[in-house]
């Protein structure tokens, strides 16, 4: 199933990092009830909510699902809009605004709410079949809000030549990256639970981490090299990376040009005393399946053990020392907790935790007004609040490029409309773009005689597939 944009809020960049693909059904029901009131009671039919809870809305096992444009184009859904009709409705919505659009469609009864839902990618659920059209209003209200919140595509950017021209002319480029830029190095993304960080760190008793496993050597992919090349040319405004592998640093991307949105393995911090070390200091232990313990805690425990018995302090289970008088007054020797070192937790952001403050400060107070191009590489934008970055930026500028992230993933991101979609192995895409731009992207993983075939996707003027000839 496709995914939806992250829920919006008063301060979207402070939203805890969450998966936007699934939401509890009870939250979805509350969202739809709120939308129904907004839709039916407002004389303007205004809909302000952009809650993504609709996806988990269910009744008797039926769920609300998303439609892809390909399904509309191929006529696979009976009673749905054609792709041309859907595109026309979307264009009309962005041109008129939500209230006027509803007046021109639903109020004038030029189209049913049930059918209009499909124009915005919603497959009406089976449990509403046979219900009056008004029953589809709450679902349509969410669909309209979701579509209207999208940044509309700029029609003047469509071809690969346009993409190359944007690269050459842009001076302040935001690059938003995910785990896909590291997969060519043999590093699986975090969703591979049997091989990724889920399995590597389960024994630490930590929550599920966000991205890929630790690299075993100081290497980087051609895509990492491409980001460094943008930096060398003075074009890189900021690389917002969702990865924790710290490979951007291996490629030479400078700390001042990079926001590690989910933290990284570059450092680790003791969960008890706060002592911080380099990630390299705990790498071997994690690789061997051991729990990395805090050396500072061990030293403190060793010092404590050398003290006379009467001067030792009682410790709580979290490692904090209790008051000496309290200990001396207690006659229950069994209540003494044997002190243990704290676990060294990699400085990565876990699900449910907020992103670093620098993420929001940099995006809203610096990059938002300076950026003239956004390139999204190696991520399907499923994790909030990073998934919201394209929507936070101004609608008229900058143009967006989307580069897919693996040989097997040729599907564009459906919940955000990019100006140009360049699909295929991202290493292949960036190497071909650099060739066409006249840039020298040197990397041992790029064959000197590499030939790349670029094929437009039928029915999409701005969508192109890159594939190595003979691959």
270 is in an annotated binding site: yes
Peptide bond into 398 cis (omega under 30): yes
273 is in an annotated binding site: yes
Alpha-carbon radius of gyration of the chain: 26
Q: Is 262 a catalytic residue?
A: yes
Residues near 312 by beta carbon (within 8 Å), at least 6 away in sequence: 304, 327
Enter the DSSP assignment of 133: G
Tell me which residue of 327, 413, 338 sits closest to 151, measured CA to CA: 413
CB 321 within 8 A of CB 240: no
Catalytic-role residue among 137, 203, 224, 262: 262
CB atoms within 10 A of CB 265: 26
Task: Return the biggest CA–CA distance within the chain.
Answer: 88
Helical segments of 178-256, H only? 197-201, 222-232, 247-251
Distance CA 145, CA 151 (A): 12
**Beta pairing class for 122-123 and 263-270:** unpaired
**Which tokens hold the place of 114?**
């049930």
Distance CA 430, CA 289 (A): 36
**Beta pairing class for 263-270 and 276-278:** antiparallel
Q: Which residues pair with 258 in a beta bridge?
A: 239
CA distances in angstroms from 208 to 193, 199, 229, 271, 401, listed in the order given: 9, 9, 33, 16, 30
**Beta pairing class for 452-456 and 420-423:** unpaired
Backbone angles phi, psi at 108, to 5 degrees: -85, -5
* Contacts of 44-48 spanning 24+ positions with Cβ under 8 A: 44/99, 45/98, 45/99, 45/102, 45/103, 45/106, 45/107, 46/98, 46/99, 47/98, 47/141, 47/142, 47/144, 47/145, 48/145
Counting every residue written for the chain, the total comes to 471
Catalytic residues: 262
Extract the annotated binding site for Zn(2+): 270, 273, 294, 297
């Amino acid at each position: 199933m496709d995914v939806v944009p992250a829920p919006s809020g008063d301060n979207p960049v402070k939203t805890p990092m969450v998966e936007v693909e699934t939401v509890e059904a009870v939250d979805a029901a509350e969202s739809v009830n709120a939308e129904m009131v907004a839709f039916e009671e407002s004389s303007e039919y205004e809909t302000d909510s952009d809650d993504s809870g609709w996806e988990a809305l269910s009744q008797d096992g039926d769920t609300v699902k998303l439609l892809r444009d390909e399904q509309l184009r191929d006529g696979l859904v009976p009673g749905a809009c054609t792709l041309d009709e859907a595109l026309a409705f979307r264009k009309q919505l962005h041109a008129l605004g939500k209230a006027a659009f509803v007046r021109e469609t639903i109020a004038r009864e030029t189209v049913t709410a049930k059918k209009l839902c499909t124009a915005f990618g919603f497959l009406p659920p089976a449990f509403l079949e046979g219900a009056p059209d008004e029953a589809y209003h709450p679902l349509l209200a969410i669909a309209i809000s979701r579509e209207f919140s999208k940044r509309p595509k700029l029609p003047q950017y469509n071809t690969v030549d346009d993409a190359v021209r944007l690269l050459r002319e842009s001076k302040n480029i935001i690059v938003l990256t995910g785990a896909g830029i590291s997969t060519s190095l043999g590093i699986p993304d975090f969703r591979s639970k049997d091989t990724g960080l889920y399995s590597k760190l389960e024994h630490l008793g930590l929550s599920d981490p966000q991205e890929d496993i630790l690299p075993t050597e100081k290497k980087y992919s051609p895509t990492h090299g491409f980001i460094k090349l943008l930096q060398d040319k003075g074009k890189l405004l900021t690389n917002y990376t969702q990865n924790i592998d710290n490979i951007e640093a291996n490629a030479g991307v400078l700390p001042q040009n990079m926001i590690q949105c989910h933290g990284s393995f570059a450092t680790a911090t003791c969960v008890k005393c706060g002592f911080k070390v380099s990630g390299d200091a705990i790498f071997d232990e994690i690789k061997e399946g051991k729990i990395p313990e805090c050396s500072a805690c061990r030293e403190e425990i060793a010092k404590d053990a050398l003290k006379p018995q009467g001067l030792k302090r009682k410790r709580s289970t979290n490692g904090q020392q209790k008051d000496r008088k309290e200990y001396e007054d207690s006659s229950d020797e069994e209540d003494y907790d044997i002190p243990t070192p704290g676990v060294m937790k990699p400085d990565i952001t876990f699900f449910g935790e907020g992103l670093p403050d620098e993420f929001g400060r940099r995006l809203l107070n610096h990059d938002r007004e300076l950026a003239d191009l956004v390139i999204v590489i190696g991520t399907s934008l499923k994790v909030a609040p990073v998934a919201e970055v394209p929507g936070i930026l101004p609608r008229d500028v900058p143009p967006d490029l989307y580069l897919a992230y693996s040989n097997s993933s040729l599907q564009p991101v459906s919940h955000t409309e990019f100006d140009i979609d360049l699909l295929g192995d991202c290493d292949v895409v960036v190497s071909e773009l650099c060739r066409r731009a006249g840039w020298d992207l040197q990397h041992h993983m790029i064959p000197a005689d590499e030939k790349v075939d670029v094929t437009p996707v039928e029915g999409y003027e701005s969508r192109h597939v890159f594939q190595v000839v003979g691959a």
